[in-house]
Structures are given as C-alpha cells and as structure tokens.
C-alpha cells in the first residue's frame, strides 16, 4: 500500500473540509467522489497525492507548504477566523485552503486595506511583533487638519490615555482627496492610529492600511479581493 494511502474521512478532515462527522454527512449526501467513483463508506482508502478527490465538484488537496495571501480588506468585516455576530475576512476568502489560513495582525471592522493571511505562524509573528519594527503605513482621513506641533507630538511618540507610550512615527500629507495624511508606525496596539490622533483631539473618520514593510497595497485589488503573494514578496516580507 502506498505511504500516501489513508481513509477518505481522515484525508478530508486533514484538508480542513470538516470534522470526521461532517465528512460522514457529506458522504451520505453523495457529495464525495474519488476518481469519478461515488464514495459510500468513510473508510474508503485514497492516495492523498495521486487520486482525484472531489467534494461537491470541488477538487480537494492537502497543502503541506505554507500559503501566503494578501487581501484588500473591506469595511464591515471583522479580522478574525470566526465571529458569532459579524461577517469575518474569512467569509470573503473563497479558496479550498481557507481553513488553514489566519489573518496576520488585526484591522478594525471599519478599516480597509492591506491584510495578510497565512498558514505560517512564524511569518505572522515576525510581522506583528513590535521587536521587529516592521513598518505599517496607513492613509488617515481626519475630521480636521492638526496643527504642526500636534503632528510633531505624534511623530516623537506620545502618551495614550491608558498611560502607554507610542514609538516614534512618520507623517506625510496625503495627496488623495479622501485622506488627510499618511502615518507610518512600527507597532500595532489596539486601535493604535485612532488613539494616537485621539490623544491630540482629532477623530479618525477613514482608515486604510496601504503598506506593510516593502509590500504596497495593490491598486488593482478592489476592496474585498485577494491574491496569493509571489515568492519574491514573501521573501521580502521575511
Ligand atoms: N489603528 C487603528 O486604530 N485601527 C486599525 O484598524 C489599524 C490601526
């Protein structure tokens, strides 16, 4: 027997199609087909690498190498794998390996822009840990333009309401009519950008992440859309 041989219920559970009992239900509903043969038994043996395995017509594969995606997050979805109340960024992902991925860091429900999704925990940790100083650039729409001295306070690092201090940040004026300025930070505290501007009395009305490290938000990626990162992009981010 080939070393890649395993029961169909184990294969489909490993491919994150569902739990073994979910898989049994799929088999009962006659939705599981292997090499054009309808499977009627959860113990049916498959070759994980060679067989053509489909559930409801969709080809299922086991991915062993990590995956990396970039999404232009839309406003209105929460950055989480699951949420009982709201739609999540995962609901916008229509790929078979969706269950293996998780978002890198977090954007607020009303924030748009560059969000990475991966199955690689080390990659996610490196990008989100404040120790690694990875730059995150945001386009910010404010209720009013701050004074120069107020912007300088943010650039130097200021104290937030909870007493914590922010690291130095860079600010430039935005050329886009929907945004007031761009801010680049190297940490990701909860609601960080909103709280930094809140500390100088301004309200963030629009927020979009446009860059992480060397990776710019793709202009051709509409909000809610995503694509796989190229190998070069993954290497640059690492
Ligand atoms: N800072 C915020 O306040 N919100 C985000 O979504 C990201 C950074």
Mean pLDDT for all residues in the chain: 93
| Nearest atom of ligand 1 to the alpha carbon of 191 | 3
Its domain, for residue 47, covers: 5-59
CA dihedral 55, 59, 64, 66 (to 10 degrees): -100
Under 8 Å between Cβ of 205 and 145 = no
In the predicted model, what is the mean pLDDT of residues 36-43? 96
Asked if the model's pLDDT at residue 2 lies above 70, the reply is no
In the predicted model, what is the mean pLDDT of residues 115-138? 91
Lowest mean pLDDT among 13-17, 70-74, 77-81: 13-17
- Which of 59, 77, 96 is at the close of a domain? 59
pLDDT digits (tens, 9 = 90+) for 172-181: 999 999 999 9
Q: From CA 214, how far away is CA 35, in angstroms rounded?
A: 44
Lowest mean pLDDT among 14-18, 28-32, 43-47: 14-18
Q: Please tell me whether residues 176 and 139 are part of one structural domain.
A: yes
DSSP letters for 36-89 = TEE---TT-EEETTTS-EEETTEE-----S--EEEEEEPTT-BSSS--SSS-BG
- Nearest residue (by CA) to ligand 1, atom 7, is 107
In the predicted model, what is the mean pLDDT of residues 65-82? 94
The catalytic residue positions are 108
In the predicted model, what is the mean pLDDT of residues 163-184? 96
Spacing, Cα 58 to ligand 1 middle (Å): 36
Burial annotation 11-42 (CB, 10 A radius, 16+ → b, else e): bbbebbbbeeeebbebbeeebbebeeeebeeb
Asked if the model's pLDDT at residue 4 lies above 80, the reply is no
Q: Please tell me whether residues 119 and 223 are part of one structural domain.
A: yes
Residue 16's pLDDT band (cuts 50, 70, 90): confident
CB-ligand 1 contact for 194 (6 Å cutoff): yes
Provide the CATH number for the domain around residue 160.
3.30.70.1560
Q: What is the pLDDT of residue 5?
A: 84
Q: Please tell me whether residues 152 and 201 are part of one structural domain.
A: yes
Asked if the model's pLDDT at residue 1 lies above 90, the reply is no
- Nearest residue (by CA) to ligand 1, atom 2, is 191
Asked if the model's pLDDT at residue 21 lies above 90, the reply is no
Place of tokens 């991966």: 118
| Nearest atom of ligand 1 to the alpha carbon of 196 | 3
Q: Give the percent of the chain with pLDDT over 70.
A: 98
- Which of 59, 86, 105 is at the close of a domain? 59
Q: Give the percent of the chain with pLDDT over 90.
A: 77
Beta bridge partners of 53: 34
Selection from 116, 93, 132 nearest residue 224 by Cα: 93
CB-ligand 1 contact for 155 (6 Å cutoff): no
Q: Please tell me whether residues 122 and 12 are part of one structural domain.
A: no
**Dihedrals φ, ψ of 181, to 5°?**
-155, 170
In the predicted model, what is the mean pLDDT of residues 39-61? 92
Q: What is the pLDDT of residue 3?
A: 60
Q: Please tell me whether residues 82 and 32 are part of one structural domain.
A: no
Q: What is the pLDDT of residue 95?
A: 84
CB-ligand 1 contact for 183 (6 Å cutoff): no
Spacing, Cα 202 to ligand 1 middle (Å): 14
pLDDT digits (tens, 9 = 90+) for 83-126: 999 999 999 999 877 878 999 999 999 999 999 999 888 899 88
pTM to 2 decimal places: 0.76
Provide the CATH number for the domain around residue 78.
3.30.70.580
The residue to mutate among 137, 138, 202, 211, having the most atoms of ligand 1 within 8 angstroms of its beta carbon, is 138
- Straight-line distance from the first to the last Cα atom of the chain, in angstroms, rounded to the nearest whole number: 40
Structural domain tally of the chain?
A: 3
HSE, side-chain direction, 13 A CA sphere, residue 128: 17
Q: Please tell me whether residues 153 and 121 are part of one structural domain.
A: no
CB-ligand 1 contact for 124 (6 Å cutoff): no
Cα angle 141, 190, 140; round to 5: 10
């Amino acid at each position: 027997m080939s070393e890649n041989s395993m029961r169909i219920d184990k294969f489909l559970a490993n491919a994150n199609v569902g739990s073994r009992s979910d898989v049994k239900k799929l088999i009962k509903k006659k939705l599981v087909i292997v090499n054009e043969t309808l499977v009627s038994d959860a113990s049916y043996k498959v070759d994980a690498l060679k067989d053509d395995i489909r559930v409801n017509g969709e080809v299922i594969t086991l991915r062993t190498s990590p995956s990396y995606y970039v999404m232009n997050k839309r406003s209105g979805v929460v950055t989480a794998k699951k949420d009982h109340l709201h739609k999540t960024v995962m609901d916008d992902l229509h790929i078979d390996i969706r269950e293996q991925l998780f978002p890198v860091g977090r954007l607020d429900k009303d924030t748009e822009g560059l969000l990475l999704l991966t199955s690689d925990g080390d990659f996610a940790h490196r990008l989100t840990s404040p120790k690694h100083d990875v730059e995150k650039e945001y386009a910010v729409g404010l209720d009013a333009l701050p004074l120069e001295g107020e912007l300088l306070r943010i650039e130097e690092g200021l104290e937030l309401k909870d007493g914590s201090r922010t690291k130095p940040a860079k600010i430039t004026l935005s050329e886009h009519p929907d945004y007031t300025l761009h801010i680049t930070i190297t940490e990701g505290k909860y609601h960080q950008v909103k709280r930094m501007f809140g500390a100088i009395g301004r309200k963030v009305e629009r927020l979009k992440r446009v860059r992480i490290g060397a990776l710019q938000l793709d202009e051709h990626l509409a909000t809610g859309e995503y694509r796989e990162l190229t190998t070069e992009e993954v290497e640059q981010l690492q």
